[in-house]
Amino acid sequence: MSQLDIVGKSFPQIAAREKATGETKFVTDLVLPRMLCGQVLRSPYPHAKIISIDTAKAAALPGVKAVVTFQDTPKIKFGPRSEDWTIFASDKTRFHGDEVAAVAAVDADIAEQALELIRVEYKELPYIISPLDAMKQGAPLVHEDKPGNIGAEFKVEAGDVDRAMDDSYVVYEDHFYTNQVYQAYMEPMSALADVDLSGRVSIWTGTQIPNMMRMTYAKALGMSPDSLRIVVPEYGGAFGGKMENNIHLIAAVLAQKSGRPVKLVNTRHDDFLAGNPRVPMHFDIKIGATQDGILTAKDVKVVGAAGARLVYSQVIVATACYRVDSLYRLKNVRAKGYTVYTNSVPTACFRGFGNSQSTFVLESALDELAIQLKIDPAELRIKNGMGSNETSVHGWKIGSSGLRECVTKASKAANWSQKKNNKTPFKGIGLACCNHVSGNRPFAREFDGGSGIVRVGKDGRITVFHGESDMGQGQNTTFAQIVAERLGVTMDMVNVAQVDTDISPFGLGSFATRGTLMGGNGVLAAAKDAYDQMADIAADMLNTKAADVACRKAMFFSKSSSETKISFQDIASEATIRHHGAPIVGTGFYKPPTELPDPDTKKGNISPAYPFGCQIAEVEVDPDTGQVSVTNFVAAHDVGRAINPMATVGQIQGGIAQGLGWTLMENMAYEDGKMINADFVDYIVPSCFDIPDIKAILVEPIEPNGPYGAKGIGEPALNPTMAAITNAIYDATGVRIKELPVNPQKLLAQIQKLGKHVKE
């Protein structure tokens, strides 16, 4: 590859100046003339029959412009994966926070008063919160047509697990639990909806999947997809949480009924109650190895709580069943997954998508094997790790793998061997690895690639259109760098358009760590098309052939005689004149070399590239309280090539901070079927004091399928964090953490039981 001018360099986000000065208009900042304030009435019970709803008094309150319930909706069942949703509860509510009614009023005070005037008569029903209980015979049914509360089942098997397990020198078997945690993006979910005279609905919202959301919502609203438009302004974080959610549809229904624009912003409390937090999971794992530490077989059972409706939990449980198998050279694997309805908030995507849950379990189990075998945990990972150009048990074709390099570099930077061998009481060091995907072929059935449009105006101004989503991670900047590099221009010349489904390509969105690779390759293809059109004109003006033309720093020149140069802007102007006003429009797409997994065996290469990583945590455990603090952190990640190293390091540090919060601090707690800590007073996320210095190491094996060699980083940044910390806790105390989050009292009790409690 020739010398790179833009890719591989640390640029601030292209929107950073606006964000730093308060100029950015986030979704919650948007205002339209005559806009109303929407608010939602939610179920106070985890499970209750709706006897009656009386909205008359609310509707009569001056300033109230619309009151809506299930009766005001098209009454269509819908859902992104499983059609078990309605916009409002119809005959019964299924979780504390379920949508019952909504109002639109001229201001927030009146909307709030109106909610209080809605009379709902409920009859409470028996409820179920634990997925294990929900599977038992006689458990209350969340959906009457779903016996046993089973939302979905998943099965995968390869090799001969029983035989390999029997032949193993060591076998470790245990139960683990990963809890429900909240994404806690700083801007709550929100939507602004407007209806034009033809009945066409526009929704401005922060979403990771504008185009797929549009298809789901069109069905819910009983419209054709072309009657619905989704626009994605800047928005304040998502981490998997901002996909389909009823509040967007409620805003649309309120706008339809009132005939005025309606903005609906979740209170933080509502966002906790009815967002889409992480799928809690129970794991039974059994794993074996030879005396030399070669993994022989893995057998897991996963039970995940879907909450009251399926969002993406069934796909997430499936992911937890098998994605992590491609981290190591496993040959014999079996998994069974159950996604179970419960009377709790519907769970869905949160950075890691099931792979973070299963990575915690596998990487804990691997440390147990290492202990039994008396092998260094780092050595065990190196022995078994997937290498470049290998194919995993599920048919995943690993192009590049920097896994071993991640382990060795992280170990060196953390001074692993020395610290591991020199024990200090209540201080420990732990290591964990991870794999992930850069896009996931089966997530959307029709295709999985990316696309882009690159427009060059007469003035040389470049605008990139894509259909993915910058949720704050800096994707627009990455795309601008890729396009600037390909066109041979400077960063200040490239703008990235806000995603608008009326204009942008049909991108699948930002999930599955797919943005950089899929979207990046899409805009790269579009940039190439635009460049080729401009190079033809440049060749003509430079009296040479297009193949002899190059552009660097926004100047076109002939490679054979670089004396004459013509600016990019002059070529753009000439192109527009020759084309009677038409701008240069480059379009392109990327079709990844992936395949849909076989429905029975699940075998098939689901992603064009697989990122890997290794994280090492150091902890101190307070012998008097059981409190754990993380004192140092090293993370080495195989990112293919970092398009923007500063942004990549930012992803790694942010992912680890979230993983640390999950491991040590965060838990959505229920009492009497109700979430009892649904705000930032009682649900504590990490502050700056909780996060240590995080040293990020970028391992760049240059991925053949990536744009300029890049893979994704979003989710792998968090996947190994939990086990790295809990493995360090084991090193410090001898206690194996099998349940997240770490509970200091329980940890202390276990330490005391082991007799390691030494008071100074």
Partner 1 sequence: MKHVRIHLVVNGEDYSLFITPNRVLLDVLREDLELTGTKEGCGLGKCGACTVLLDGRPVHACLTLALQADGCQITTIEGIGEKEVHPLQEAFIDKGAIQCGFCTPGMINTAKALLDANANPSEDEIKQAIAGNLCRCTGYNKIVDAIHSCGCQSEKEKGEVR
Q: Residue numbers of the site for partner 1 (CB under 8 A)?
A: 10, 12-13, 15-26, 28-29, 31, 183-188, 234-237, 239, 267-268, 471-474, 642, 645-647, 649-650, 653-658, 679-681, 685-689, 691, 693-694, 698
Q: Compute the least distance from the CB of residue 31 to partner 1, in Å.
A: 8
Count Cβ atoms below 10 Å from residue 421 Cβ, excluding itself. Answer: 9
DSSP 8-class letter at 518:
I
Q: Compute the least distance from the CB of residue 469 to partner 1, in Å.
A: 12
Angle between helices 246-258 and 210-220 (to 10 degrees): 60
Residue with Cβ nearer partner 1 (179 or 658)? 658
3 state SS of 447: coil
Residue with Cβ nearer partner 1 (20 or 582)? 20
Q: Which of 737, 742, 733, 741 is nearest to 429 (CA)?
A: 733
Q: Compute the least distance from the CB of residue 583 to partner 1, in Å.
A: 30
3 state SS of 726: helix
Residue with Cβ nearer partner 1 (207 or 558)? 207
Alpha carbons 325 and 386: distance in angstroms, whole number = 10
DSSP 8-class letter at 2:
P
Q: Compute the least distance from the CB of residue 183 to partner 1, in Å.
A: 8
Q: Compute the least distance from the CB of residue 21 to partner 1, in Å.
A: 6
Residue 17, strand partner residues:
none
> In this structure, what are the phi and psi dihedrals at residue 605, rounded to the nearest 5 degrees?
-80, 105
Contact (CB, 8 A) for 724 and 740: no
Residue with Cβ nearer partner 1 (4 or 541)? 4
Q: Compute the least distance from the CB of residue 656 to partner 1, in Å.
A: 6
Residue with Cβ nearer partner 1 (324 or 696)? 696
The token duo for 452 is 């882009």
Residue with Cβ nearer partner 1 (650 or 673)? 650
Count Cβ atoms below 10 Å from residue 208 Cβ, excluding itself. Answer: 24
Q: Which of 439, 749, 486 is nearest to 608 (CA)?
A: 439
DSSP 8-class letter at 285:
E
Residue 584, strand partner residues:
456
Q: Compute the least distance from the CB of residue 665 to partner 1, in Å.
A: 12
Q: Compute the least distance from the CB of residue 629 to partner 1, in Å.
A: 14
For 398, half-sphere exposure in the C-beta direction (CA atoms, 13 angstrom radius) is 26
Q: Compute the least distance from the CB of residue 691 to partner 1, in Å.
A: 5
Residue with Cβ nearer partner 1 (162 or 679)? 679
Alpha carbons 79 and 42: distance in angstroms, whole number = 19
Q: What is the CA radius of gyration of the chain?
A: 27
DSSP 8-class letter at 279:
P
Contact (CB, 8 A) for 226 and 506: no
Residue with Cβ nearer partner 1 (64 or 537)? 64
Alpha carbons 496 and 499: distance in angstroms, whole number = 9
The secondary element (H helix, E strand) that includes residue 191 is strand 190-195
3 state SS of 512: coil
Q: Compute the least distance from the CB of residue 238 to partner 1, in Å.
A: 8
Q: Compute the least distance from the CB of residue 319 to partner 1, in Å.
A: 23
Residue with Cβ nearer partner 1 (266 or 347)? 266
Alpha carbons 218 and 642: distance in angstroms, whole number = 38
Alpha carbons 330 and 344: distance in angstroms, whole number = 36
Residue 158 falls in which region: left (phi positive, over 0), alpha (psi -120 to 50) or beta: beta
Q: Compute the least distance from the CB of residue 136 to partner 1, in Å.
A: 37
Contact (CB, 8 A) for 284 and 301: yes
Q: Compute the least distance from the CB of residue 204 to partner 1, in Å.
A: 14
Residue with Cβ nearer partner 1 (267 or 424)? 267
Q: Compute the least distance from the CB of residue 514 to partner 1, in Å.
A: 18
Alpha carbons 483 and 591: distance in angstroms, whole number = 18
Residue with Cβ nearer partner 1 (25 or 77)? 25
Residue with Cβ nearer partner 1 (1 or 681)? 681
Residue with Cβ nearer partner 1 (255 or 696)? 696
Q: Compute the least distance from the CB of residue 26 to partner 1, in Å.
A: 6
> In this structure, what are the phi and psi dihedrals at residue 25, rounded to the nearest 5 degrees?
-100, 105
Provide the pairing of β-strand 584-590 with 694-699: unpaired
Residue with Cβ nearer partner 1 (86 or 266)? 266
Residue with Cβ nearer partner 1 (229 or 263)? 263
Give the burial class of 292: count Cβ atoms within 10 A of its Cβ; 0-12 exposed, 13-18 middle, 19 or more buried.
exposed
Alpha carbons 262 and 36: distance in angstroms, whole number = 5
The secondary element (H helix, E strand) that includes residue 673 is none
The token duo for 357 is 């849950």
Please give the span between the terminal C-alpha atoms of the chain, in angstroms, as a whole number.
Answer: 60
Q: Which of 80, 96, 6 is nearest to 42 (CA)?
A: 96
3 state SS of 59: helix
Concatenate the DSSP letters of all residues of 87-145 into one string.
Answer: SS-SSEE-STT-EEEEEEESSHHHHHHHHHH-EEEEEE------HHHHTSTTPPPSSTT
Q: Which of 482, 447, 563, 541 is nearest to 212 (CA)?
A: 447
Q: Compute the least distance from the CB of residue 185 to partner 1, in Å.
A: 6
Residue with tokens 């942010």: 654
Residue with Cβ nearer partner 1 (237 or 457)? 237
Residue with Cβ nearer partner 1 (344 or 648)? 648
Q: Name the E strands within 316-358.
A: 332-341
Residue with Cβ nearer partner 1 (236 or 402)? 236
Q: Compute the least distance from the CB of residue 241 to partner 1, in Å.
A: 10
Q: Compute the least distance from the CB of residue 689 to partner 1, in Å.
A: 6
